[in-house]
Amino acid sequence: MSLPSIDIISLREAHDRRAFMHEQMQSLGLAYTFFDAVHGTQNPDHALFKKYNDARRLRLRGTGSSLRLSQLGCFASHYLMWERCVQGGEPIIVLEDDALLTPLFMSFYAHAGQFAQHYGLVWLQPSRKVQNQAGLVLEQIGPFTVKKFAKGFSGTTGYLITPRAAQALLDYAAEWVYPVDNTMDRFYEHGIEAIGVDPVCLAQDDDFESFINVADSGRQRSASDSWRRETANLWDNLRRMTHNVGVWVRVKRGAGLDNI
């Protein structure tokens, strides 16, 4: 299997970020392509935004939980990358333009073909859903311990994805309810496991201001909104736990993952 292409999602006008990523890629001698991100606030009527079901989100998460245009733009950008992966018929590495590559990135890149043969989606960043989450050890590939995580990944800084997994995400994302990282994290629904590597290959450069994540307004939730949110979280946690127990049993019996 040939080495995957590297596609960097970046707003066209984000010159500092593009210069930052170019310097990193150039220092490693890696070819890459910038993909012009969808700027949600400048393109509020983007065709893909019709997939977003705000009414369903409000039923699940409560009043005031609507996704921002910047979040929809982020979702659309990754959605288009999944389409590109399927159309190209080859695995790709997707990076955002604030990805800070560690010295081990080149080792991952050299072993990317092996990862793509075993897993549909491999996260290159730390899992930030749970601090110091241990993960279920699956195997060793090169210098990396491959792990299945009980909870997924916050943010979409970088990942390897195969055409089959990309198609599964496209099918699952026929309707948008959650931000793109939360959507990708719902492995217990779409079947694409939360697979990561130890040590990680990249981090998010916090020196760059986020175009997506802004501080919570501090609005007080009503009792009904809190009930909606907690009920949805409880149901998700039960399904996630049941799924993870099944994975743990299969792995311990040597059956491997039913992963796309």
Portion of the chain with pLDDT greater than 90, in percent: 77
3-state secondary structure 227-256: HHHHHHHHHHHHHHHHHHHHHHHHHHCCCC
Instruction: Please check the confidence at residue 217 and state whether its pLDDT lies above 50.
Output: no
87-114 pLDDT, tens digit per residue, is 999 999 999 999 999 999 999 999 999 9
Question: Which DSSP string corresponds to 132-195?
Answer: T---EEEEEETTEEEEE-SS--SS-SEEEE-HHHHHHHHHHTTSB-S-HHHHHT-HHHH----E
Instruction: Please check the confidence at residue 205 and state whether its pLDDT lies above 50.
Output: yes
pLDDT of residue 167: 98
42-92 pLDDT, tens digit per residue, is 999 999 999 999 999 999 998 889 999 999 999 999 999 999 999 999 999
CA distance 9 to 81: 9
pTM of the entire predicted model: 0.93
pLDDT of residue 218: 53
Instruction: State the amino acid at position 220 in one-letter form.
Output: Q
Instruction: Look at 113-122, 148-157, 209-218 and tell me which has the smallest mean pLDDT.
Output: 209-218
Residue 184 tokens, joined? 């990708």
Portion of the chain with pLDDT greater than 70, in percent: 93
Mean pLDDT along residues 110-139: 90
Residue of 139 and 212 predicted with greater confidence? 139
Instruction: Please check the confidence at residue 120 and state whether its pLDDT lies above 60.
Output: yes
CA distance 40 to 76: 9
Q: Find out whether the peptide bond into 199 is cis, omega within 30 degrees of 0.
A: yes
Q: Which conformational region is residue 81 in: left (phi greater than 0), alpha (psi within -120 to 50 degrees), or beta? A: alpha
Residue of 85 and 153 predicted with greater confidence? 85
Mind listing the domains of the chain with CATH numbers? 5-207+217-252 (3.90.550)
pLDDT of residue 131: 73
Mean pLDDT along residues 136-141: 95
pLDDT of residue 81: 98
